[in-house]
Amino acid sequence: MDKSPLRSRRVPARCHVLVVEDDVDQCGEMAGYLILSKLEVRMAYDGTSALRQATEHLPRVVLLDFNLPDMSGIQLAKELRAILPNAAFIMMSAHIDGLSERTLQEIGIAVFANKPVPLGPLRKAVLMLVASPRLGRDGPKHGEKSWFSTGLGGRRRYPPNP
């Protein structure tokens, strides 16, 4: 039997979405709602488990809470970007003290959603991102209408309008 290194490597079980949220109820609610749309969803309640899930499942979209118990959402996003260079990130928070446009741009977070996140627009955004052949650091094209443009959140524009 062939025991070559290529055959013994474990192939990641891909998923559509990784929800990273320390509030167990909110995490389950978002994941459950997305699963209804036939999306493969994984959940993580802290940064450490999010990194493990990302490595194991290579999600196309990451829903990322800004405030996590073991690290900030920004720290986690930087580490996740190294693992998932082509994933789309949606940052979520009710409190964003110290979060700058430049930081979001550098990490490649194109969408920010205010909490509580409305599930209908969130599902629409995730479905569009999962179906998009062009994900990653660039996010939506500059000037495209955002899925969260109704005042419930928004896509960051780079560079900001003067």
Q: What is the pLDDT of residues 92-147, one digit of tens each?
A: 888 766 667 777 788 888 777 888 889 999 999 999 999 887 655 444 433 333 43
Whether residue 87 contacts residue 80, with contact meaning beta carbons closer than 8 Å, is answered with yes
Instruction: Pick 109 or 25 by higher pLDDT.
Output: 25
Whether residue 104 contacts residue 156, with contact meaning beta carbons closer than 8 Å, is answered with yes
Tokens of 114: 């205010």
Q: What is the CATH number for 119?
A: 3.40.50.2300
37 occurs within a structural domain:
yes
2 occurs within a structural domain:
no
| Residue 21 belongs to domain spanning | 12-155
132 occurs within a structural domain:
yes
Q: How many separate domains does the chain show?
A: 1
144 occurs within a structural domain:
yes
CB burial of 44-61 (b: ≥16 within 10 Å; e: otherwise) equals: bbbbeebbebbeebbbbb
User: Hey, CA dihedral for 94, 97, 98, 101, is it positive or negative?
Assistant: positive
Strand intervals (E) in the chain: 17-20, 41-44, 61-65, 88-93, 109-114, 153-155
Q: Is the pLDDT of residue 68 over 60?
A: yes
pTM of the model: 0.75
CA–CA dist 106, 151 (Å, integer) = 24
CA–CA dist 113, 22 (Å, integer) = 16
